RNA sequence: GGGCGCUUAGCUCAGUCUGGUUAGAGCACCUGCCUUACAAGCAGGGGGUCGCUGGUUCGAGUCCAGCAGCGCCCACCA
């Protein structure tokens, strides 16, 4: 592509005109796909990311935008570094979440899933996820994600189902999966069991009621004994009966009480153990038992035991031999086990009814407000009901051990680091995982039951019972927790349990980029499964991104209506704009704030930067023209200060960007490159070489500028490419190329720059900094003294480091242009004018006879002298401090001395100037 | 109840690990410019007792302790 086309470049970047085409070219070029043979046969070094598969419940939101942009930045960077990069895309069937969405959809047709039946309902879900799944993948393409689309997976794909089966059966055979009746978290709306992680505690203010349970006639002596032992929560009833007091936040569960527990060492209640109390309303007697779990210091020190509706009570019951009585239906209504008056009532209605009935009998001793974490279903937010139920569980402790060790010994690292401790704490206290779900959408549990009660867990559907030969097998109706399949993702996507080439080439992977919310749900479990089934970690780095929030700090969510659609942003401002905006805010451990009410303002920074890159490129292409461009070598003798400077800066920026990428400091990468490109290349370098690129300029100087410009833009585009891939690739493709240098096919596979410190020079950078300061100072003085824009002036410069003035003189053309100065005289200026001093000691003087107000200038000098005196005093004081001089490093002290000398010189010069002016005006 | 994090400019945040020029950025604000790449721009400028108190140190935004406010995670106090 020749530079001729450059004249066609629009003055404004139009992302819609370039992004889809560019993406199409990348796809056509096959740049996103790396075959396993590259690693296995050619020995290339792999770099693998598996996408956190988005749920097929809905199109992507900005959180996905952030997460996937980060992954793409890492993938593009590693690809340019020459790694055999594979980024596996895909989607998650999201069991409970998707089932809910489809249930809502058919509800609008007046249908319930039971109206359709399992098979038809699942067909509906498939129809839904086919659409959403495709939408999601298209969205990823729109934001520029360079995924290996040939490896796209869905967690319900046929081969992934095989992986799930293999894992289930294998864990079952090892005794790590078991079935049993325990208290689980039950969502009465979704009508399924949930894992502990899926029941989200939410601080809720409720009421703690104190209830009286009367003693049975035969136990009154025990009650008396307890009172004598100091039991304050045991006493007379108004009608002469004896009672004890227990507390509860869920009074309706009292109907299922089968005991009251006290601590075995609680002296007050020792006499009560074995006593019997009347369970009010239920007309049953229940025993008092002793159990270590009871905290004597809390409440009355007596606990009502409801084994079927509370996990602790269940355990107490198991230890003490109490039997559970289930008093609720799956949808949390009171069942047949309760007195007729309460049957059929919803748990909250029942709560009111039970309290009313108890009050009537005078059995409510009181209440108090009570704050506690009430568990809610993470998908529908219904209050979870602890429920006794037969479910499948995974025994986690043995699985957790290697995964915990991996964190402790640094095999797996976490960024930000503090998540490591969170992870380890969870791992150390891990509890068994309830994996069965009473849903229709998901991986069916690969277990069959025969009429004789035999349980068959099988990799292939069995036709008869291996134990009794029965052919009347029935498969377990439940499906698995959606995370059961997600946890296999890092190896199931590569074809496991088959020993595929992909698996050998790309497992283990490298970086897991995800949200902290799913550290336990997903990340921890992937690591456990990695060790269990592959013997090694699925990835070595876990990078946890921030949360995308609105301007008020609220998490963006569909229900709050404060979300921003990534596609909308891409269409309006381009993927580059969105990516830069997100990445530049992605400081490690920090959330991202975007104004959903002013999307334009939210993404203006990124849009402006992309446009700036575009225009710089446009200028360069127009200025460079069609003539051949040289490499730096042949034009070395013509390089000017600014050429050497920008090349030097390039080396440092390259090194810094690489280091920051390695440490996931993406915010620093983005801002560092932004500053380099906009603040140094555009604001200084391009401006300084404009005159040299012009037609009449010296040929040697022009070729040096052209060569430098091409070099610097090429490298800058490479460095920026991972963050803003489209605009950089578009310009890079049109950039003239130095003769004799092989040109990569596309920027996407251009090698990542290596810093070359041979071409970096602090001396050059210092000199250039002085020059920049000089120009800024002249501009400032011009502005301060109101010199009209169009009016050219002369400046006088003196002092400063050796050689600085010579260099300045050599660079006169550039300075003259940037500062709008007529000429520079290396001599001391006199008369009325404006004074400036640079930090390297150079003084400048702008003669302004007739322009400035003398009185104002005198006042300015007096103010300046006052400020200087303060600085001089401070520095002297510091140097007079013996401790400082003797203990601080010599270079620090010397710096202070130099500073003092400089300040004193300035002071005396200003004094002289002031004296001069005072003589002149008055 | 346990653990963790945050507090720096009007706003959103870097900088703290490894103490050392005048504490930075983007946005917002003020002033002047349609200067032939870019007004989505250019140039200049204002704005900070670095949450509070104390300590270590020649020197603290940075290290230590305490306090306050905010936030997150975990947890079986009925």
Report whether A436 contacts A445 (CB < 8 A).
yes
How many residues does this entry show for chain A? 922
Q: Which residues pair with A376 in a beta bridge?
A: A200, A383
Q: Vertex A364, ends A361 and A370: CA angle to 5°?
A: 160
Average pLDDT value for residue range A171-198:
93
When pLDDT is cut at 50, 70 and 90, the band that residue A400 belongs to is: very high
Protein A208 CA to nucleic acid B78 C1', in Å?
9
Q: What is the DSSP code (8-state) at residue A866?
A: H
Average pLDDT value for residue range A690-710:
90
Give strand B nucleotides closer than 7 A to any protein Cβ: 3-6, 11-15, 20-22, 25-28, 32-33, 35, 37-45, 57-59, 72-78
When pLDDT is cut at 50, 70 and 90, the band that residue A595 belongs to is: confident
Protein A698 CA to nucleic acid B31 C1', in Å?
38
When pLDDT is cut at 50, 70 and 90, the band that residue A25 belongs to is: very high
How do residues A638-678 score in pLDDT, each as one tens digit? Answer: 999 899 999 999 998 998 899 888 888 888 889 889 999 99
Q: Tell me what percent of the residues of chain A surpass a pLDDT of 70.
A: 96
Long-range CB pairs of A417-420, under 8 A, 24+ apart, other chains included: A418/A589, A419/A516, A419/A519, A419/A542, A419/A544
Identify the three-state secondary structure at position A482.
Answer: helix
Average pLDDT value for residue range A352-356:
93
Protein A906 CA to nucleic acid B58 C1', in Å?
27
Contacts of A162 (CB under 8 A, 6+ apart): A497
Least reliable range by pLDDT among A198-202, A462-466, A679-683: A198-202
Give nearest nucleotide to A516 (CA–C1'). B73
Contacts of A499 (CB under 8 A, 6+ apart): none
When pLDDT is cut at 50, 70 and 90, the band that residue A922 belongs to is: very low
Res A4: pLDDT = 40
Contacts of A648 (CB under 8 A, 6+ apart): A759, A760, A761, A764, A765
Res A2: pLDDT = 38
Res A863: pLDDT = 67
Average pLDDT value for residue range A280-291:
90
pLDDT at A866 over 50: yes
* A191 closest CA partner among A395, A479, A520: A479
- What is the spatial distance between Cα A496 and Cα A713, in angstroms, rounded to a whole number? 45
Q: Vertex A488, ends A485 and A493: CA angle to 5°?
A: 100
Residue nearest to nucleotide B73 (CA to C1'): A422
CA-to-CA dists, residue A804 to A404, A822, A903, angstroms:
60, 19, 19
Protein A80 CA to nucleic acid B17 C1', in Å?
30
Average pLDDT value for residue range A678-694:
91
Q: Where are the beta strands (DSSP E) in A751-866?
A: 793-798, 821-825, 833-837, 843-847
User: Mean pLDDT over all residues of chain A?
Assistant: 88
Res A5: pLDDT = 43
When pLDDT is cut at 50, 70 and 90, the band that residue A840 belongs to is: confident
Give nearest nucleotide to A889 (CA–C1'). B20
CA-to-CA dists, residue A255 to A284, A351, A383, A629, angstroms:
9, 10, 19, 89
Residue nearest to nucleotide B40 (CA to C1'): A608
How do residues A541-567 score in pLDDT, each as one tens digit? Answer: 999 888 888 777 778 877 777 788 899
- What is the spatial distance between Cα A909 and Cα A899, in angstroms, rounded to a whole number? 15
Q: Where are the beta strands (DSSP E) in A395-525?
A: 413-415, 433-434, 436-437, 447-449, 455-457, 474-475, 479-480, 511-514
Report whether A276 contacts A244 (CB < 8 A).
no
C-alpha neighbours within 13 Å on the C-beta side of residue A429: 6
Long-range CB pairs of A603-606, under 8 A, 24+ apart, other chains included: A603/A569, A603/A572, A603/A573, A603/A577, A603/A578, A605/A580, A605/A581, A606/A573, A606/A576, A606/A577, A606/A578, A606/A579, A606/A580, A606/A581, A606/A582
Protein A835 CA to nucleic acid B44 C1', in Å?
17
Average pLDDT value for residue range A223-250:
85
Least reliable range by pLDDT among A119-123, A374-378, A594-598: A594-598
How do residues A769-779 score in pLDDT, each as one tens digit? Answer: 888 888 888 88
Give nearest nucleotide to A519 (CA–C1'). B73
CA-to-CA dists, residue A410 to A47, A417, A626, A703, angstroms:
19, 11, 54, 52
- What is the spatial distance between Cα A388 and Cα A306, in angstroms, rounded to a whole number? 10
Give nearest nucleotide to A605 (CA–C1'). B26
How do residues A36-66 score in pLDDT, each as one tens digit? Answer: 999 999 999 999 999 999 999 989 888 899 9
Q: Which residue has the higher pLDDT, A489 or A271?
A: A489
When pLDDT is cut at 50, 70 and 90, the band that residue A800 belongs to is: confident
- What is the spatial distance between Cα A509 and Cα A507, in angstroms, rounded to a whole number? 5
Protein A284 CA to nucleic acid B23 C1', in Å?
74
Report whether A568 contacts A535 (CB < 8 A).
no
Report whether A339 contacts A152 (CB < 8 A).
no
Report whether A580 contacts A609 (CB < 8 A).
yes
Report whether A469 contacts A425 (CB < 8 A).
no
Protein A512 CA to nucleic acid B66 C1', in Å?
39
CA-to-CA dists, residue A447 to A427, A435, A440, A444, angstroms:
28, 13, 15, 9
* A582 closest CA partner among A147, A152, A145: A145
* A388 closest CA partner among A477, A302, A313: A313
- What is the spatial distance between Cα A783 and Cα A787, in angstroms, rounded to a whole number? 6
Give nearest nucleotide to A671 (CA–C1'). B25
Protein A865 CA to nucleic acid B23 C1', in Å?
24
Give nearest nucleotide to A887 (CA–C1'). B58
- What is the spatial distance between Cα A113 and Cα A638, in angstroms, rounded to a whole number? 79
Protein A573 CA to nucleic acid B29 C1', in Å?
26
What's this model's pTM, rounded to 2 decimal places? 0.91
CA-to-CA dists, residue A339 to A256, A342, A355, angstroms:
11, 6, 14
When pLDDT is cut at 50, 70 and 90, the band that residue A856 belongs to is: low
Res A206: pLDDT = 84
Protein A769 CA to nucleic acid B42 C1', in Å?
20
Residue nearest to nucleotide B32 (CA to C1'): A783
Report whether A112 contacts A102 (CB < 8 A).
no
Res A306: pLDDT = 93
Least reliable range by pLDDT among A419-433, A438-452, A506-520, A834-848: A834-848
When pLDDT is cut at 50, 70 and 90, the band that residue A588 belongs to is: confident
Question: Roughly what angle, to the nearest 10 degrees, separates helices A666-674 and A62-80?
Answer: 70
Contacts of A213 (CB under 8 A, 6+ apart): A243, A244, A245, A246, A260, A277, A278, A279, A280, A286, A304, A363
- What is the spatial distance between Cα A649 and Cα A678, in angstroms, rounded to a whole number? 13
The Cβ of residue A424 has, within 10 Å, a number of other Cβ atoms equal to: 18
Give nearest nucleotide to A895 (CA–C1'). B21
Residue nearest to nucleotide B20 (CA to C1'): A892
Res A3: pLDDT = 38
Protein A420 CA to nucleic acid B17 C1', in Å?
16
- What is the spatial distance between Cα A630 and Cα A537, in angstroms, rounded to a whole number? 49
Q: What is the DSSP code (8-state) at residue A330?
A: T
How do residues A405-451 score in pLDDT, each as one tens digit? Answer: 898 888 998 888 888 888 888 888 888 999 999 999 999 999 999 99
Contacts of A29 (CB under 8 A, 6+ apart): A745, A746, A748
């Amino acid at each position: 592509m020749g530079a001729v086309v450059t004249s066609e470049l629009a003055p404004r970047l139009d992302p819609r005109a370039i992004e889809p085409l560019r993406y199409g070219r990348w796809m056509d070029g096959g740049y996103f796909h790396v075959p396993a043979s590259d690693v296995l046969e050619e020995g290339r070094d792999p770099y693998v990311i598996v996408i956190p598969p988005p749920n097929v419940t809905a199109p992507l939101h900005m959180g996905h935008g952030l997460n996937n942009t980060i992954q793409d930045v890492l993938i593009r960077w590693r690809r340019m570094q020459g790694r055999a990069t594979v980024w596996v895309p895909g989607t998650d069937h999201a069991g409970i979440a998707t089932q809910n969405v489809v249930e809502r959809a058919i509800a609008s047709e007046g249908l319930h899933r039971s109206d359709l039946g399992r098979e038809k309902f699942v067909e509906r879900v498939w129809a839904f996820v086919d659409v959403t799944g495709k939408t999601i993948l298209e969205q990823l393409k729109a934001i520029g994600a360079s995924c290996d689309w040939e490896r796209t997976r869905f967690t319900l794909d046929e081969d992934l189902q095989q992986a799930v089966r293999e894992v289930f059966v294998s864990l079952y055979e090892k005794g790590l999966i078991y079935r049993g009746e325990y208290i689980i978290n039950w969502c009465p709306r979704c009508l399924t069991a949930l894992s502990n992680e899926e029941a989200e505690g939410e601080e809720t203010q409720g009421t703690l009621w104190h209830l009286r349970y009367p003693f049975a006639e035969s136990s009154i002596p025990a009650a008396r004994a307890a009172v004598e032992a100091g039991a304050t929560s045991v006493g007379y009833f108004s009608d002469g009966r004896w009672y004890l007091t227990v507390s509860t936040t869920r009074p309706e569960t009292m109907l299922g009480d089968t005991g009251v527990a006290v601590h075995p060492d609680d002296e007050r209640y020792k006499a009560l153990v074995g006593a019997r109390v009347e369970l009010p309303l239920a007309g049953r007697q229940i025993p008092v038992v002793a159990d270590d779990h009871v905290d004597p210091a809390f409440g009355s020190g007596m606990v009502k035991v409801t084994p079927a509706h509370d996990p602790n009570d269940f355990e107490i019951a198991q230890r003490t031999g109490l039997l559970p009585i289930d008093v609720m239906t799956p949808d949390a209504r009171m069942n047949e086990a309760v007195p007729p008056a309460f049957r059929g009532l919803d748990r909250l209605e029942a709560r009111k009814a039970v309290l009313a009935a108890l009050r009537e009998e005078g059995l409510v001793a009181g209440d108090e407000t009570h704050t506690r974490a009430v568990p809610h279903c993470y998908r529908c937010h219904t209050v979870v009901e602890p429920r006794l139920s037969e479910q499948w569980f995974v025994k986690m402790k043995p699985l957790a051990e290697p995964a915990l060790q991996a964190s402790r010994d640094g095999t797996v690292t976490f960024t930000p680091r503090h998540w490591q401790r969170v992870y380890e704490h969870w791992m150390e206290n891990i509890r068994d995982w309830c994996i069965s779900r009473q849903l229709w959408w998901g991986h069916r549990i690969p277990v069959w039951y025969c009429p004789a009660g035999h349980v068959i867990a099988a990799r292939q559907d069995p036709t008869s019972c291996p134990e009794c030969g029965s052919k009347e097998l029935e498969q377990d109706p439940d499906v698995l927790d959606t995370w059961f399949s997600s946890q296999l993702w890092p190896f199931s996507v590569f074809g496991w349990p088959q020993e595929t080439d992909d698996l050998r080439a790309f497992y283990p992977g490298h970086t897991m980029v995800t949200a902290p919310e799913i550290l336990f749900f997903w990340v921890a479990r992937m690591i456990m499964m990695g060790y269990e089934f592959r013997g090694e970690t699925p990835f070595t780095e876990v990078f946890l991104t921030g949360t995308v929030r609105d301007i008020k700090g609220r998490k963006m969510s569909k229900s709050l209506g404060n979300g921003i659609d990534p596609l909308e942003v891409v269409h309006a401002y381009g993927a580059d704009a969105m990516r830069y905006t997100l990445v530049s805010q992605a400081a490690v451990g920090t959330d991202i704030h975007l104004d959903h009410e002013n999307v334009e303002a939210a993404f203006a920074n990124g849009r402006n930067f992309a446009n700036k890159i575009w225009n710089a490129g446009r200028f360069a292409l127009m200025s460079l023209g069609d003539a051949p461009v040289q490499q730096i070598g042949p034009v070395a003798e013509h390089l000017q200060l600014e050429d050497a400077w920008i090349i030097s800066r390039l080396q440092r920026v390259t090194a810094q960007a690489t280091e920051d990428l390695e440490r996931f400091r993406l915010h620093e990468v983005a801002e560092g490159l932004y500053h380099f490109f906009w603040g140094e290349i555009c604001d200084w370098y391009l401006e300084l070489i404009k005159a040299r690129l012009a037609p009449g300029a010296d040929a040697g100087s022009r070729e040096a500028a052209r060569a430098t410009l091409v070099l610097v833009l090429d490298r800058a585009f490479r460095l920026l490419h991972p963050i803003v891939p489209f605009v950089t690739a578009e310009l890079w493709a049109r950039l003239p190329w130095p003769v004799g240098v092989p040109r990569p096919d596309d920027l996407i596979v251009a090698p990542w720059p290596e810093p070359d410190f041979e071409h970096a020079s602090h001396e050059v950078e210092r000199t250039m900094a002085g020059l920049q300061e000089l120009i800024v100072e002249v501009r400032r003085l011009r502005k301060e003294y109101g010199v009209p824009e169009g009016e050219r002036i002369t400046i006088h410069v003196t002092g400063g480091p050796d050689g600085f003035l010579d260099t300045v003189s050599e660079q006169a053309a550039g300075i003259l242009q940037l500062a709008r100065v007529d000429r520079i005289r290396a001599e001391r200026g006199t008369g009325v004018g404006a004074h400036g001093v640079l930090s390297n000691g150079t003084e400048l003087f702008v003669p302004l006879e007739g322009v400035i107000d003398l009185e104002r200038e005198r006042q300015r000098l007096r103010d300046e002298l006052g400020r200087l005196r303060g600085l001089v005093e401070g520095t002297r004081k510091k140097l007079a401090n013996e401790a400082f001089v003797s203990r601080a490093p010599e270079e620090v002290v010397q710096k202070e001395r130099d500073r003092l000398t400089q300040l004193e010189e300035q002071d005396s010069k200003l004094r002289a100037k002031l004296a001069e002016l005072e003589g002149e005006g008055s």
